[in-house]
Amino acid sequence: MSKSDLFTTITTPNGKTIEQPLGLFINNEWVKTESKLETVNPSTGEVIASVYSASPDDIDKAVVAANAAFKDPSWSEISGSERGDYLYKIYQLIERDRELIASIESLDNGKPYETECLEGDMGEAAEVFKYYAGWADKITGQYIGTQVLGKNKIAFTDPNPIGTVAQIVPWNYPFVMLCWKIAPALATGNTVILKSSEITPLSALYFAKLVQEAGLPKGVVNIVSGYGKDAGARLASHPKIDKVAFTGSTFTGGKIMASAASSNLKNVTLECGGKSPYIVFDDCDFDAAIEWGFTGIFYNKGEVCTSTSRFFIQDTIYDKFVEAFVKFTEENSKVSSPFEKGCTIGPLVSNLQYEKVKKYVELGKKDGAKLLTGEFIDGPGYFAKPFVFADCTDDMTIMKEEIFGPVVAITKFKTTEEVIERANSSDYGLAAALFSSNITKATHVARKLQAGMVWINSNGDSDIHVPFGGVKMSGIGRELGSYALDMYTDHKAIHINLGLDH
């Protein structure tokens, strides 16, 4: 039942009742626009709600608000500890509402509610704000003294916020990615305009309610729903935006980078696609390699940029591994509504993604890969049991292109140097994982792999203290840890001449 044109009431399958905002959040106010977009429950294919969609003109209004907030003393002149207080308040509010946010996230995205959304995503999302709340009063410059520069000169660096920051987040981790981006941007004193994915806009709008409740000055955080071709393109090209941070496809990341360059050469960080290798040596802990391999490709339905979707298994254990992995996959894949107890694989996020995965499965079979398990489930909803292809070759499409679904391609290798070369043959370089009980060999391989992140004897680990990002076509810059602070900071150098005698 609708409470107004700007809010609706949603009841989720687990019995949570949520007052869901529908409008854009600009200058601490809920705003109607001339058009709307529908967001769909991937478990049923039914519309959850229609939210207001931003046009380029609406983006311009958000930019005016964020620019004004950046100059307003109520934000620009407060101390780091005061900024930290705001972030800590948001942390507390996320913790308070984590069941509600997880419920709306599972409804909108399809990820398993209990294990992945509530226990995984929400805990991490809250901790990100707590972590950067602690950093806000520790962003200090560096003093370079006379012992370095000579007796007549000193210098120091003065860290400053970049300005108004546009942030564009994907549909696979809508709330976590929002927190990864907004928290360090606020800790360093910037103002934010965040655009959610048109496929999963609901949790970002709920977050705006928490911003209001936390009492941040108006215009510091603005949340907009909208399509990439309208809202996203305007954010990337806007001359009054100082930085854009994007997570999504490599194709879209390239377009954003070009728009940023052709407008005002704004600062850009990108976290884009991946085709991550999973290397298993014959001296591995075999059972652990099976379990971590399953997690690394099928967690979040395979809709993860870091998914280890290329398996390289040493030839001496190849047949044994493939047989055991198929068995483990079939026994541990409970495909169901994300709210059902024990669900491990929820529905793919949309019909578009469902059809995309279908296309790649057909390409795998056409190219000669051996399909050992996996099937699509007739609707309602966009469900698929995980697909395992074996006997793959490096020239197959499913070994080269990012699928972003529950599909793994397995191949074999003989030598260490061979597998390093083949793993590095991808245009992507986001992540890699390897299993071996020989830590010397494992470390050697990890250093040789062209990836922003490498896991040894684990897979898919993420921690707020550790930088996250890729190389090659997987992106530019880093998120998380102290490294994310540098992505939102300009370090001004100030030189002082002590040699004047008057």
- The mean predicted confidence, pLDDT, of the chain is 97
pLDDT score at 216: 98
Q: Are strands 277-280 and 431-435 parallel, antiparallel or unpaired?
A: parallel
pLDDT score at 385: 98
List the structure tokens of 11: 């009841």
Task: Report the helix count and the strand count for the chain, using DSSP H and E.
Answer: 17, 25
Three-state SS for 90?
helix
Q: List, in order of start, the domains of the chain with CATH numbers.
A: 23-31+53-272+476-491 (3.40.605.10), 277-463 (3.40.309.10)
Q: What is the 3-state secondary structure (H, E, C) of 163-226?
A: CEEEEECCCCCHHHHHHHHHHHHHHCCCEEEEECCCCCCHHHHHHHHHHHHHCCCCCCEEEECC
Chain position carrying tokens 């099937």: 375
Residues 34 and 7 sit within 8 Å (Cβ to Cβ)? no
- Residues in the chain with pLDDT values less than 70: 1-3, 501-502
Catalytic residues: 271, 305
pLDDT score at 258: 97
List the structure tokens of 433: 């994982």
pTM for the whole thing?
Answer: 0.96
Q: Using CA atoms, how far apart are residues 50 and 20, in angstroms rounded to an integer?
A: 11
Q: How far is CA 304 from the centre of its chain?
A: 8
Name 148's Cβ contacts closer than 8 Å, sequence gap at least 6.
Answer: none
pLDDT score at 2: 43
Amino acid in position 286: F
For 112, phi then psi, to 5°, come to -55, 130
Q: Using CA atoms, how far apart are residues 316 and 174, in angstroms rounded to an integer?
A: 41
Residues 102 and 156 sit within 8 Å (Cβ to Cβ)? no
Q: Using CA atoms, how far apart are residues 356 and 350, in angstroms rounded to an integer?
A: 10
Amino acid in position 276: S
Q: What is the pLDDT of residues 24-51, one digit of tens each?
A: 999 999 999 999 999 999 999 999 999 9
Three-state SS for 239?
coil
pLDDT score at 500: 80
The 10 Å Cβ neighbour count of residue 461 is: 14
DSSP 315: G
Q: What is the pLDDT of residues 206-256, one digit of tens each?
A: 999 999 999 999 999 999 999 999 999 999 999 999 999 999 999 999 999
Q: What is the pLDDT of residues 405-435, one digit of tens each?
A: 999 999 999 999 999 999 999 999 999 999 9
Q: What is the pLDDT of residues 284-300, one digit of tens each?
A: 999 999 999 999 999 99
Q: How far is CA 102 from CA 106, 116, 209, 353, 381, in A?
A: 6, 9, 15, 22, 20
Buried b / exposed e across 194-219, counting CB within 10 Å, b at 16+?
Answer: bbbbbbbbbbbbbbbbbbbebebbbb
Chain position carrying tokens 């478990």: 43
List the structure tokens of 272: 């884009």
pLDDT score at 502: 57
pLDDT score at 4: 75
Q: How far is CA 32 from CA 192, 205, 314, 345, 444, in A?
A: 20, 13, 58, 36, 56
